[in-house]
Amino acid sequence: MVISSRKFISLTLGLLLCAGLTACAGSSSSPLPAASTATPSPLPPTPTATPIPLALTVNGEGVPLAEFADEVARYQAEQAALGYVVSHQEAAQAVCAELSDELLLAQGATQGGFQVDDAMLETRLEALANQIGGKDALLAWQSAHGYSQDEFRAALRRQIAAAWMRDQIASLVPRATEQVHVQQILLTSEAEAQAVLQRLDGGVPFAEIAREYDPLTGGELGWFPRGYLPEKAIEEAAFALQPGQYSRVVPSRVGFHILYLVERDPARPLSTDALLALQINAIQNWLQQRREHSAILCTPDIMEKH
């Protein structure tokens, strides 16, 4: 059974602090010459630590090249298990985007005063072990997916922080907001839509025509808030109406719509689906603002040079 590392713990690789990994060699001096007037031999230069190549940096935090390459390999393997062939370049771009967003969220958590202490990390590790069948099973899973112990712990620590930040953003979405109750007539051609609009303008009830084109639901779209529909033009047209009014023809990717506003509620509780959609929008908007004000550099092509 293939267990996706992303689906199992919803994490991506991140920065492993490299302090202490590169030791500086001690300096040595040449013996002094016998004559006190002789010029001492110069000390050999202190070796300079070789910088660890980075594939991604986000506001000064970097993802080492080796870890980034491992994550790209994992991404390709998981996509292959799902039946998709993803090129190295496509995988690298996807990993850049996902790692950048996770680092931004984790940094936001730190700025918000949230810290993942050792006790919290151990609790999460224990929960993961119980989920997969014990500590030995978790170690085997880590090994199969190319994680060292330190790498896995660091990645999980960052993922916990990112999840906390996501929850904070989502919690700010109100549970009740302005919503509209809308019906529609959906046509496949603009000419037909204009013909229907003429019938409406001539006094034919909206509900009557809606039943002609959708006998099952009568064109019912139900209640929805701003930010819920994927077609923004439809949303804007619906919220511009007053109860009892119908719109002009609104084109979209799926056809041509004529909308009818049944009623409006200034503070209607959100459905589960609508709440989730607005929370996702809030997280994406937060990330977009952070990206615009952050220093993000992703150079996956460096892998081809090493």
- The tens digit of pLDDT for each residue in 163-183 reads 999 999 999 999 999 999 999
Look at 101-115, 129-143, 291-305 and tell me which has the smallest mean pLDDT.
291-305
Calculate mean pLDDT across residues 238-249.
98
Report the pLDDT averaged over residues 149-160: 87
In the chain, % of residues over pLDDT 70: 81
pLDDT at res. 10: 47
Given a cut of 50, whether residue 16 has pLDDT beyond it is: no
Q: What percent of the chain lies above the pLDDT cut of 90?
A: 70
- Tell me the mean pLDDT in the region 18-33: 32
Q: What residue spans define the domains of the chain? A: 52-175+270-306, 178-269
Over residues 53-88, the pLDDT tens digits come to 888 999 998 888 888 888 899 899 999 999 999 999
User: What's the token pair of residue 10?
Assistant: 């919803």
* pLDDT value of position 64: 83
Q: Please give the torsion angle defined by the CA atoms of residues 12, 17, 18 and 20, in that order, rounded to the nearest 10 degrees.
A: -150
Instruction: Give pLDDT, residue 31.
Output: 33
Looking at per-residue pLDDT, the higher value among 49 and 37 belongs to 49
Instruction: Judge if pTM exceeds 0.95.
Output: no
First to last CA, the chain: 33
Please state which architecture CATH assigns to domain 178-269.
Answer: Roll (3.10)
| Count, residues in the chain | 306
Residue 145: what pLDDT?
86
In whole angstroms, what is the distance from residue 129 CA to residue 133 CA? Answer: 6
Please report the pLDDT score of residue 104 as a whole number: 97
pLDDT at 2 exceeding the cut of 50 = no
Distance CA 40, CA 45 (A): 15
Domain 52-175+270-306: state its class.
Answer: mainly alpha
Task: Tell which residue, 68, 160, 146, 63, has the closest CA to residue 114.
Answer: 160
Minimum mean pLDDT range among 2-16, 17-31, 127-141, 260-274: 17-31
270: its two tokens: 């959100």
User: What is the layout of strands, in order, in the sheet containing 176-187?
Assistant: 220-225, 176-187, 256-269, 250-251
Residues 15 and 153 sit within 8 Å (Cβ to Cβ): no
DSSP of 136-153, one letter per residue?
A: HHHHHHHHHTT--HHHHH
Q: Identical fold at 52-175+270-306 and 178-269?
A: no
Distance CA 179, CA 85 (A): 42
Rg (CA), the chain: 29
Name the pLDDT band for 46 (thresholds 50, 70, 90). low
Q: Considering the chain, what is the average pLDDT of its residues?
A: 85
For residue range 246-304, list pLDDT tens digits in order.
Answer: 999 999 999 999 999 999 999 999 999 999 999 999 999 999 999 999 999 998 665 55
Q: Give the model's pLDDT for residue 69.
A: 87
Contact assessment for residue 141 and residue 128, using Cβ atoms and an 8 Å cutoff: no
Query: Which residue has tokens 């003429």?
Result: 198
d(CA 12, CA 158): 9
pLDDT at 37: 42
Is 102 a residue whose pLDDT tops 60?
yes
Residue 50 binned pLDDT confidence (cut-offs 50, 70, 90): low
Res 62: pLDDT: 84
pLDDT-derived band of residue 26, with 50, 70 and 90 as boundaries?
very low
User: What pLDDT sits at residue 55?
Assistant: 87
**Average pLDDT of the residues in 122-151:** 91
